Structure formats: structure tokens, C-alpha cells
Amino acid sequence: MEKQFNEFSIKLEESGNLREKIRAVSMEMESAIRIMQSGLLMVHQSRPMPEVLEKAKFQIDVLKKLYGVLADILKDFPGQYYRYHGDWKSSTQTVVSLVAFLHWLETGDLLMHSEAEEKLGLGSYSEFGLDIEDYLIGICLMSNDLPRYVVNQVTAGDYDCPRKVLKFLTDLHAAFRMLNLRNDLLRKKFDGMKYDLRRVEEVFYDVKIRGLMTIGDSTEDPGREAKVGAMVIFFLSLFPEDVLHGGGAHQQAKKLGVFEVALIFNSWSNHQ
């Protein structure tokens, strides 16, 4: 009996040492993450973007190296990736959120799992990869940053930003709804995403209703404009007083589902 337990002690001590090594790397990762995070916060102050992005990108390389160190440590312990996974899991989720946010700022697209693996150099090891759940949680974390970004961009005068973000976030939310989730952290994070979506919708509404949006991509359905114009004239003939003095006309239009007309009436009454 004693012999067996001695062996266990030795074995467990070994894995304890291994865990300590991993934790040391994970600490380094956290400090790299903090630098990257604080660098990226500059986008909320609308500093010149390229400079901000370059700085943050530099940390990606640091993280890439650290993941390399981790993969190297675990190379000799096949199959045990998930035994120690907990020690760098939450860091990885944050890393994904930052890298994905950066990618979105640059391209306007969602950073996919394979792209994230590639960016962090995680695609090249046999076992050591990017866990899909970590990736998805990271994406949810990124979505948490978007409302703040939108608010600050609008304040800085970029009125087209809410439309872009809203479109992106709506697509993302729709994509997430395809997943069958369990009652776990991912589910909780995904449930939080709808609040981000709502906040961005509110900002978008605020900007749109005040007619602040820039003249966007101008290849509009030509018939559309004429139709809206006709509807406005139609409403004018029905409720001339209401339309001009901010009465119920815009409610009527809203009820009928012609939102563009309702928006026009509303902006008129705001101007009067």
C-alpha cells in the first residue's frame, strides 16, 4: 500500500510542478492582455486609428509566443490539454475578444475560429488549439464592447457607425441563435448579447430619428424614394394639421408600418 501511495505522491507532485509552470506563463499572458486592452481602449477616445491598432497588434505577437511556450510545455503530455486548460481558459477568452475586436475594426467582419487560431499561432500544434467554446465566449465578450464604442463614435461625430455596428451585431446574434447551448457560461454570455444589441439599436434610433445620419451608400431603389414621397403627400392631404403641428400623423404612419414616413413627420415636428 505504502509503495503505491508513494508513487502517487511523486506523480501528483510532477503534475503540480507542471501546473505551476503553466500558471507562470498564464500570468505573463495576463499582463500582455492588460497592455493590449488598455491600448485598445484608445479607440473610445477616437485617437488616430492606425497607430492604436499597431500598438495592440504588437501584443498579439507577444501572446502568440506565450501560446508557443504553453504548447511546448504540454507537448510531452499527450491528451492532457484539458487537464490544465482551466489555467489559461479565461485569458484565452479575453484574448479572442480583443483580437476579434481588432479584426472587426480593421475589416468590419467577424473573426472566424480558424482565423483566430491562425492569428494566435494555435493552428500548428497537434493538440494545442483554440477551444471552440473559448472562441465563442470570446466573441460574446467582444460584443460587450460594441455599445460603448458606438456611443463614443457618435459623440465624436461618426453618425454612420451605429448602422454598421447594428448590422454586424444583428447578424452575429442571429448566427449565435443557431447554436444549441447548454446551461453554461457560453449560454449566459450569449444571453447578455441581446442587451448589447438593444443598446446599439437605441443609439441607432436616436441618431436616425434626428436625421443625423450621413448620406450613406447612395444606390437606393429609385422607386422607394418616390413611394415615400407619395405617402407623405397622401398623409398631408389626410391630416394636414397633424403633420405640420406634430400631431398624431406620425403615430398613424407608424401604425401603418411606413416607418420612413413616420420618421419624416417626427423630424418635422422636432424642428418646429
Partner 1 sequence: MASKPHRVHHIAETSPSNSAKKAKKITTTTMKEGFEKYTQYLNEMNDKRERLVKASRDITINSKKVIFQVHRINKHNKDEVLEKAEKDLANVTNQYIARLLKELQGTDFWKLRRAYSPGVQEYIEAATLCKFCTTGTLLTLVEINTNLLPLSDPSHEPFQINVLDYLLGVADLTGELMRLAIGRISDGELEYAEKICQFVRDIYRELTLVVPHMDDNFEMKKKMETMLQSVVKIENACFSVHVRGSEYMPLLGSSEPNFSFLGVTDFEL
Q: Which residues contact residue 115 at a Cβ distance below 8 angstroms, ignoring those fewer than 6 apart? A: 103
In the complex, the smallest distance separating the C-beta of residue 199 from partner 1, rounded to whole angstroms, is 20
| Interaction between residue 173 and partner 1 (CB under 8 A) | no
Residues 250-264 as b/e (b if ≥16 CB within 10 A, e otherwise) read bebbbeeebeebbbb
Q: Which of 48, 50, 183, 219 binds partner 1 (CB under 8 A)?
A: 219
| Interaction between residue 272 and partner 1 (CB under 8 A) | no
With contact defined as beta carbons under 8 Å apart, do 170 and 197 qualify? yes
- The smaller minimum CB distance to partner 1, of residues 77 and 248, is found at 77
Rounded to whole angstroms, the Cα distance separating 267 from 219 reads: 23
| Interaction between residue 241 and partner 1 (CB under 8 A) | no
Rounded to whole angstroms, the Cα distance separating 131 from 176 reads: 16
- The smaller minimum CB distance to partner 1, of residues 10 and 45, is found at 10
| Interaction between residue 216 and partner 1 (CB under 8 A) | yes
With contact defined as beta carbons under 8 Å apart, do 51 and 58 qualify? no
In the complex, the smallest distance separating the C-beta of residue 176 from partner 1, rounded to whole angstroms, is 7
The footprint of partner 1 on residues 120-159 (CB under 8 A) is: 127, 132-133, 135-136
Closest CA to 142 of 164, 163, 169: 169
Q: Which of 65, 81, 152, 185 binds partner 1 (CB under 8 A)?
A: 81
Sole window of 3-11, 37-45, 145-153, 190-198 interacting with partner 1 (rule: CB under 8 A):
3-11
| Interaction between residue 85 and partner 1 (CB under 8 A) | yes
Sole window of 46-54, 78-86, 146-154, 248-256 interacting with partner 1 (rule: CB under 8 A):
78-86
Rounded to whole angstroms, the Cα distance separating 226 from 230 reads: 6
In the complex, the smallest distance separating the C-beta of residue 226 from partner 1, rounded to whole angstroms, is 9
Q: Which of 15, 31, 251, 270 binds partner 1 (CB under 8 A)?
A: 15
With contact defined as beta carbons under 8 Å apart, do 95 and 111 qualify? no
The footprint of partner 1 on residues 44-73 (CB under 8 A) is: none
| Interaction between residue 12 and partner 1 (CB under 8 A) | yes
Q: Which of 62, 69, 105, 213 binds partner 1 (CB under 8 A)?
A: 213
Cell reading at 210: 434626428
- The smaller minimum CB distance to partner 1, of residues 9 and 155, is found at 9
With contact defined as beta carbons under 8 Å apart, do 272 and 245 qualify? yes
Q: Which residues contact residue 56 at a Cβ distance below 8 angstroms, ignoring those fewer than 6 apart? A: 36, 39, 40, 98, 102
Compute CA distances 238 → 181, 248, 256, 262, whole Å. 51, 11, 14, 14
Would you give the distance in Å from CA 262 to the centre of its chain?
31
Contact footprint for partner 1 (CB under 8 A): 1-2, 4-5, 8-9, 11-13, 15-16, 19, 78-83, 85, 108-110, 112-114, 127, 132-133, 135-136, 163, 167, 171-172, 175-176, 178-182, 208, 211, 213, 215-221, 224-225, 228-229, 232, 260, 263-264, 267-268
